[in-house]
Amino acid sequence: MSKPKPDSPDTGNEPESQTTSNFIRSIIDQDVAVGKHGGRVHTRFPPEPNGYLHIGHAKSICLNFGLAADHGGLCNLRFDDTNPIKEEAEYVEAIKEDVRWLGFDWEDREYYASDYFGQLHEWAVELIRKGKAYVDDLTAEEIRQYRGTLTEAGKESPYRDRTVEENLALFESMRAGELADGSKVLRAKIDMAAGNLNMRDPVLYRILHASHHRTGDDWCIYPMYDFAHGQSDSIEKITHSLCTLEFEDHRPLYDWFIRELDIFPSRQIEFARLNLSQTVLSKRKLKQLVDEGLVSGWDDPRMPTISALRRRGYTPESIRDFADRIGVAKADSTVDVALLEHCLRVDLNKRAPRVMAVLEPLKVVIENYPEGESELLEAVNNPEDPEAGSRQIPFSRELWIEKNDFREEAPKKYFRLAPGREVRLRYGFFITCQEVVKDETTGEVVELRCTYDPETRGGYAPDGRKVRGTIHWVSAAEAVNAEVRLYDHLLKPADEVKADQAKDFKASLNPDSLKVLTGCKVEPSLEGAARESRFQFERQGYFCVDNRDSSPDHLVFNRTVTLRDTWAKIEKAQRQASA
């Protein structure tokens, strides 16, 4: 007998996604065709190490690494670490782990914007020399007022026309640590009347006496995103710099620096960020869930973070497939979470070994099966994968079946067990329910007395008679106890949320996003199952051994996703019809 292997590591069964074209691919193909940059394609994934990556980042990661790979190019991992107050080394490690887990390799191209602080400072000096940047003494509040509004032009700072010498000296004293935080900034001299607010003399450098997780106290002035990002791209000779739509307004500035500094002309291209139904993807909201204890942490299996998806049981292959299928465009969109789940099922169906587990146990006694005896039956490990082989499972007089696989009064189209009805125990025997035992006080069904047909061993009827229902089961004596956590979406479906959405997203939280079941009975082959191993619990869904709380003597499974459930649909339709 061979135990089902926890799950095949990489079956290489990742779908051959016939990558549909998209506007970014077209631009790149075009550039390659005309030999721009010698036909070279070089992208980068540039997270700020101030939090955990989520599925929205996965879209960007797959896009950047994928597009580069498809063109024989490279993709760098670059940490956009220009704000020491929000960033930590711990996040750097977590991000690297997540990108690796997703299956991407940046080889030795691990960069940090902070590596370029020296060069960036030189460029700032260069701009001052050209008369294109100046030191401003206005306070943050004044700068805001001088900036004007969306519909009114701003006005120029009284410090805007300082001489080059004065600016040089002032910037030097900023850098030397002689000035207090916030007392001065370095600004680009562009156009205070520009329609695009980003061009109204944007701040290039601010004074911040803060320790940086990599450069320590080497600097007390730090460049702003706009003065660091594009130039970092340029330094790394990035050909196509992909970012989300909210940076469209920054592109003129991105290009302004390239022109004024006469540096490598990377091209910024913006695409729509991912939104997923029934979840939140904003860092602020996710943090709120964690801080308020509404989830157990950043890797709570209900979270959309990469670490949570991993813990939940998602495969990297399914996430990559999802990223391919949603495409890339510029229209704001919300992808149905059902697509993500579809990708997951497609992958897991091919590779997850099947196993029997009873989540809400109901005792069944086979009255005509000899007491104290047992036998082994053969069960297929994965009907989708002949290579997976089969295993032996014990059968005996006392079994556990699922509570909801029995009804005292069977509704229409209910194929499962009911008084007098015969069903097939998967890979076992046909059994017939003879008697229902109830708790005398509560009336609750506590045990079923059944008989089995010894001629139907393995689940086949020699006389050819049919049974409509096949149910899963576990032999009581050999069953292993387990805790099972049933997860559902973080938020209720949009049509149930309606108007209250505007007020607070927490009003939309799904109250049933977690249900913990203890006393579940799983088949003996699962004993000692390794963390993160994935299985299909037959007829129920895909489950993954929790990577935090599970141990050999206390198995904990997370429900990754349910199987499609046609019966549930029929039931729902029946309920609605009768209502």
Which residues are identified as catalytic? 48, 273, 283
Binding mask 134-173 for RNA (x = CB under 7 A): ----xxx--xx--x-xxx----------------------
Rounded Cα–Cα distance for residues 38 and 27 (Å): 15
Rounded Cα–Cα distance for residues 389 and 376 (Å): 16
Q: Which stretch binds RNA (CB under 7 A): 66-74, 212-220, 407-415, 447-455?
A: 407-415
- Three-state SS string across 435-466, please? EEEECCCCCCEEEEEEEEEHHHHHHCCCCCCC
- Within a 10 A sphere around the Cβ of 158, how many other Cβ atoms? 12
CB 25 to RNA: min, Å: 8
Q: Which among 405, 411, 390 is positioned nearest to 474, based on CA atoms?
A: 405
Q: Is 192 in the site for RNA (CB under 7 A)?
A: no
Site for RNA in 227-286 (CB under 7 A): 228-229, 245-250, 272, 277
Q: Which of 16, 262, 291, 332 binds RNA (CB under 7 A)?
A: 332
User: Do residues 557 and 550 touch, judged by C-beta distance below 8 A?
Assistant: yes
Q: Is 346 in the site for RNA (CB under 7 A)?
A: yes
Tell which phi-psi region holds residue 131, choosing left (phi > 0), alpha (psi between -120 and 50) or beta: left
CB 508 to RNA: min, Å: 17
* Rg (alpha carbons) of the chain, rounded to whole number: 31
Number of shown-chain residues binding RNA (CB under 7 A): 91
- Three-state SS string across 269-293, please? EEECCCCECCCCCCHHHHHHHHHCC
Q: Is 427 in the site for RNA (CB under 7 A)?
A: yes
- Residue 312 one-letter amino acid: R
Q: Which of 2, 21, 282, 481 binds RNA (CB under 7 A)?
A: 21
User: Do residues 402 and 520 touch, judged by C-beta distance below 8 A?
Assistant: no
Pick between residue 114 and residue 547 the one whose CB is nearest to RNA: 114
Pick between residue 198 and residue 550 the one whose CB is nearest to RNA: 198
Site for RNA in 552-571 (CB under 7 A): 563-567, 569-570
CB 120 to RNA: min, Å: 11
Residues 6+ apart with CB under 8 A from 445: 362, 403, 406, 408, 436, 437, 438
Q: Is 458 in the site for RNA (CB under 7 A)?
A: yes
Site for RNA in 301-330 (CB under 7 A): 325-330
Q: Is 339 in the site for RNA (CB under 7 A)?
A: yes
Site for RNA in 487-526 (CB under 7 A): none
Q: Which of 13, 22, 215, 374 binds RNA (CB under 7 A)?
A: 22
Pick between residue 247 and residue 400 the one whose CB is nearest to RNA: 247
Binding mask 82-101 for RNA (x = CB under 7 A): xx--x---------------
Residues 6+ apart with CB under 8 A from 200: 147, 148, 154, 190, 191, 192, 193, 194
Q: Which among 236, 230, 232 is positioned nearest to 259, based on CA atoms?
A: 230
Q: Which stretch binds RNA (CB under 7 A): 69-77, 90-98, 303-311, 469-477?
A: 469-477
